[in-house]
Amino acid sequence: MSFLGIDLGTGSLKVAIVDAHGCEQAVSSVAYALDTPHAGWAETSVQTWWRALCDAMTRLPGELRRDVQAIGFSGQMHGVVLLDAAGEALRPAMLWPDTRALDLLDAWPEPQPNPVAPGMAGPLLRWIVLHEPQVVRATRWALQPKDWLRVALGGAVVTDPSDACATALADPAGVWDTALLARLQIPREWFAPLAPSYAAGGVLSESAARALGLRAGIVLATGAADTPCAALGSGLAHDGDALLTTGTGGQIVVLASQAPAAAKGLHRYRAASDHWYRMAAMQNVGIALERVRGWLSYEWGEAYREAFGDGADSITNANDSAAASLTFLPYLTGERTPWLNPHARGGWLGLALEHTRGAMMRAAFEGVAFSLRAGLDAIRASGATVTALKLAGGGSVDARWRQLLADALNVELHAVDCPNAAPRGAAILGGLASGHWHAHDLAALAPGATRVAGPRDDAALAARYARFLDLYGRVETWFGDATLR
């Protein structure tokens, strides 16, 4: 007996099969690129997602696929897929990095229960209403990405609170805000009914089963957004459990048994279980480091060596006066927590003739770490005590980078012994939906975690963090005065 988790991400689709004990048996992934037909747009054709799923499934062993009893879904948050009455996509999916609706954020006046970003379903759908009337006339459903995938596999048209509450069209519990939809002229009937993330949401169709090499009729879980799925897959089960994920962006999640109070710059969303979570969401982690690596013409191994030195405890030039004068703001795509500023931008300040590529790369790593620290500081200011973080995500493997994160964040880091937390969380939802597991089993399903770094009370690094914050405060007015709602 095994369970399949599908994680529909922004830049790749990943599938994982776990056994009856929650242990990963096989995993595969397929990458794809975003389409940017106009400046500020971020789209992907659903056919790109479908081809990636079929390709990823062919890479899993056939005997494991035949043993799958249920499927769970994890999906990138905030985006939207518009379907007609026949279930066909009317246009490419619009995704969270999209900024075309930036000028429409005034429709969400303060105070809001959560920050509103232009790439959320609400602003994107408002843009559709204003600019694509032919699509509006043909639309029957406006779905989140993972819900589109479940429907494409034969499942029910439903969504879950963890995705609904992050659309800027629902209350913090995920219930659709009928009055807001009416004011925005977005039809209420476009939106799917709510079901728990762990509820059964239909069964796999014959045609989808043939395409994926699975048995028809197996249970499809409703599924959840990728961040709560990663939290579930990483073993967050109790109030106060905390997780740092580093990928294209970065998230710091702290689980809560009750709805947290609203706090500026933070999100408070529903979890994949019956919990809530606080979240600091930083857009510029892997995406910023990857762009800097390209600008500096590095391969990743060389980038780490020249930024950090040859030993895990060695830092090349990090504490000399020249390196200390170099600061990098990583905000290449605007920023959410804590600044709520989609116009924020990045770059180096303090460059001198003696600076090398390695010094610039090191400053970029520090800038990203400092950005994550600013998000964690916002969580701490909201009343959560965070001294240790579970660590997940493909962008957090190098030991030197982990040590910098521990020093910058002033936390212990415990790497989760589960490199594919989001698809594992999705697979667990499949097991819950099929009745194999129950809510009281979740804590026992937590993967092991290994302490990989602890803070070293680095006074020089703390001074550079203060310089980072001061620099952002000084240049913020350069970027424009629009902020997220």
pLDDT of residue 75 exceeding 90, the answer is: yes
Q: What is the pLDDT of residue 314?
A: 37
- Domain final residue, candidates 162, 192, 227: 227
Same structural domain for residues 195 and 306? no
Rounded Cα distance between 339 and 483, Å, is 8
**Which of helix, strand or coil describes residue 227?**
helix
Whether residue 430 is contained in a domain is answered as no
Residue 479: band (very low, low, confident or very high) from pLDDT cuts 50, 70, 90: confident
Q: What is the pLDDT of residue 310?
A: 58
Whether residue 424 is contained in a domain is answered as no
Residue 483: band (very low, low, confident or very high) from pLDDT cuts 50, 70, 90: low
DSSP run (H or E) holding 308: helix 300-308
The pLDDT tens digits of the residues spanning 427-463 come to 999 999 999 999 889 889 988 889 999 999 999 999 9
Neighbours of 475 (CB within 10 A): 16
Kindly state the average pLDDT of the residues 239-267.
90
Whether residue 445 is contained in a domain is answered as no
- Domain final residue, candidates 203, 227, 251: 227
Q: What is the pLDDT of residue 342?
A: 83
Rounded Cα distance between 7 and 30, Å, is 11
Kindly state the average pLDDT of the residues 108-137.
94
The pLDDT tens digits of the residues spanning 367-411 come to 999 999 999 999 999 988 899 999 987 667 899 999 999 999 999
Domain that holds residue 303: 236-417+455-485
Rounded Cα distance between 344 and 297, Å, is 25
Same structural domain for residues 245 and 222? no
Which CATH number characterizes residue 314's domain? 3.30.420.40
Poorest-confidence range of 23-27, 134-138, 447-451? 447-451
Size of the chain, expressed as the number of residues it contains = 485
- Domain final residue, candidates 200, 227, 254: 227
Residue 312: band (very low, low, confident or very high) from pLDDT cuts 50, 70, 90: very low
Q: Which residues contact 294 (CB under 8 A, 6 or more apart)?
A: none
Same structural domain for residues 194 and 299? no
Q: How far is CA 166 from the centre of its chain?
A: 12
Whether residue 432 is contained in a domain is answered as no
pLDDT of residue 9 exceeding 50, the answer is: yes
Rounded Cα distance between 426 and 364, Å, is 33
Whether residue 443 is contained in a domain is answered as no
Rounded Cα distance between 465 and 70, Å, is 47
Is beta strand 219-221 parallel, antiparallel or unpaired with respect to 250-256?
A: unpaired
The pLDDT tens digits of the residues spanning 352-365 come to 999 999 999 999 99
Q: What is the pLDDT of residue 470?
A: 96
Most confident of 141-150, 257-266, 270-279: 141-150
Same structural domain for residues 166 and 114? yes
Same structural domain for residues 51 and 174? yes
Same structural domain for residues 179 and 283? no
Whether residue 428 is contained in a domain is answered as no
- Percentage of the chain beyond pLDDT 70 is 95
Kindly state the average pLDDT of the residues 289-306.
96
Same structural domain for residues 185 and 269? no
Q: What is the pLDDT of residue 451?
A: 94
Q: What is the pLDDT of residue 485?
A: 54
Report which of 231, 232, 227 is spatially closest to residue 248, judged by C-alpha positions: 227
Whether residue 449 is contained in a domain is answered as no
Prior bond of 118 cis (ω within 30°): no
Same structural domain for residues 175 and 308? no
Residue 323: band (very low, low, confident or very high) from pLDDT cuts 50, 70, 90: low
Same structural domain for residues 118 and 180? yes
> What rounded mean pLDDT belongs to the chain?
92
Whether residue 170 is contained in a domain is answered as yes
pLDDT of residue 481 exceeding 80, the answer is: no
- The amino acid at residue 475 is V
Kindly state the average pLDDT of the residues 160-179.
95
Report which of 273, 328, 338 is spatially closest to residue 115, judged by C-alpha positions: 338
Same structural domain for residues 154 and 251? no
Kindly state the average pLDDT of the residues 413-432.
93
Give the number of domains in the chain: 2
Same structural domain for residues 149 and 257? no
C-alpha distance from residue 352 to each of 176, 206, 434, 452 (Å): 54, 64, 61, 34
Rounded Cα distance between 10 and 4, Å, is 19
DSSP conformation class of 273: S
Same structural domain for residues 301 and 220? no
DSSP run (H or E) holding 306: helix 300-308
